[in-house]
Amino acid sequence: MTPGATTRKRVLSGMRPTGKLHLGNFVGALQNWVGMQDQYECFFCVVDWHALTTDYADTSRVKENSLEVAFDWLAAGLDPEKCVLFFQSHVPEHAELHLLFSMITPLGWLERVPTYKEQRENIKDKDLGTYGFLGYPLLQAADILVYKADCVPVGEDQVAHVELTREIARRFNAFYGSGKPVFPEPQSLLTPAAKLPGTDGRKMSKSYGNTIMLADPEPVVRQKLKTMVTDPARVRRSDPGNPDLCPVGDLHKIFSSNETMAKVNDGCRTAGIGCIECKSWAADSLVRLLKPMQERRKKFEQNPRLAWDILEAGSQRARQAAGETMQDVRAAMHMSLDYEAPQGRAD
Ligand code: TRP
Ligand code: SF4
């Protein structure tokens, strides 16, 4: 491990194995993670057990999807020399801590997690009335606390889970800490939510089928841009438009240089440029971003075992750290694995 690692604050975050990642995943999380590697001691986890909280009936793709996520992480520049990249299910300590947390967590705490009710109402195609689904924020708390993480980079939607994690840490410390807290109370590091529209103008999301994938080859990126929706006020080429009301304009704001942005702003508002030209510039910006990632990705696509081995080695390092925490946890609960003589006996 790099010198000074022990003095850096520790970060843990996780991503569900949804398969290939899209630009929304990059802007909403991955890009931010890449930028944290030097400053923090980072643990990044493919949370494959979390995938089962909603998709338990068919697990045939979990491993493949996890590997795809690993490809994209490595392609985006997460560096196994700088951070620990691993699979959740390879570190059984997460499950052990989750079990212990389940003993001390009042049901009401889980039932009032905002995502719980919302998803149970919205997702109709599968039965989410399971124990695992109710408990999944607790599994997330275990993911975080088994590393005694100080900071958790997440989007807005996950802040309530980190808040719950702090409540669990506090409750555990109150029961078992004997004046010396076992767990820190981790903070959310809110990822600034850039508004990233998909090709149909709605938020980019796998479930909407409007994504641009990090692994999309240049012609696919250009084709997707061509059919992307624009400012509805620009019906004809001669109509002026407004990049602030246009999904393509939003892409420019995130991915294009200031010069290009200036040309878009001026050209769109004066009808000096057409949408086709404007979109080709947006495609240029995306291709410039994605090219180096796709270069790095090739190596892993050609030899998936390389990526597997990197995450497998990361999982060993994660187990080491998680194992240290579990020793503290068991000791605090008077359940260490060491022999202790029954009271009143000297042996
Ligand atoms: N629940 C998170 C999500 O759906 C993923 C996740 C699991 C996570 N464990 C975590 C995020 C720990 C941060 C820290 O996006
Ligand atoms: Fe959108 Fe560009 Fe067309 Fe303006 S010129 S409406 S920003 S695509």
Q: What parts of the chain have a pLDDT lower than 70?
A: 1-6
229 by DSSP, 3-state: which?
A: coil
Q: What is the DSSP string of 200-221?
A: TSSBP-GGGT---BTT--HHHH
Testing ligand 1's pocket by substitution, the residue of 98, 154, 166 carrying the most ligand atoms inside 8 A of its CB is 154
The pLDDT > 70 percentage for the chain reads 98
> Ligand 1 mean position to 219 CA, how many Å?
33
pLDDT per position as a tens digit, 138-190: 999 999 999 999 999 999 989 999 999 999 999 999 999 988 999 999 999 99
Q: What's the rounded Cα separation, in Å, for the pair 85 and 14?
A: 10
Ligand 2 and 247: CB distance under 6 A: no
**Which residues lie closer than 8 Å to 99 by C-beta, 6 or more apart?**
none
Ligand 2 and 24: CB distance under 6 A: no
Q: Whose CA is nearest to atom 14 of ligand 1?
A: 13
CA torsion 129-130-132-137 (nearest 10°) is 20
257 by DSSP, 3-state: which?
A: coil
Which ligand has the shortest distance to the CA of 283? 2
pLDDT for 120 equals 84
Ligand 2 and 282: CB distance under 6 A: no
**CATH 1.10.240.10 spans which residues of the chain?**
216-297
**Which residues lie closer than 8 Å to 125 by C-beta, 6 or more apart?**
none
What does the block give as tokens for 306?
Answer: 């390389």
Q: Whose CA is nearest to atom 15 of ligand 1?
A: 15
Q: Whose CA is nearest to atom 13 of ligand 1?
A: 13
DSSP classification of residue 180 = S
**Which atom of ligand 2 is the closest one to the Cα of 279?**
8
Which ligand has the shortest distance to the CA of 33? 1
> Ligand 2 mean position to 30 CA, how many Å?
27
Which ligand has the shortest distance to the CA of 47? 1
Please give the single-letter amino acid code of residue 27: V
**CATH 3.40.50.620 spans which residues of the chain?**
10-196+304-332
> Ligand 2 mean position to 268 CA, how many Å?
6
pLDDT for 56 equals 93
Which ligand has the shortest distance to the CA of 281? 2
Please give the single-letter amino acid code of residue 252: H
CATH, range 10-196+304-332 = 3.40.50.620
pLDDT per position as a tens digit, 193-217: 777 999 999 999 998 999 999 999 9
> Ligand 1 mean position to 340 CA, how many Å?
38
pLDDT for 2 equals 53
Ligand 2 and 279: CB distance under 6 A: yes
pLDDT for 17 equals 97
Pick the CATH number of 216-297 from 1.20.1530.20, 1.10.3720.10, 1.10.240.10, 1.10.150.20: 1.10.240.10
Q: Tell me if 230 sits within 8 A of 275, measured CB to CB.
A: yes
Residues forming a β-bridge with 12: 43
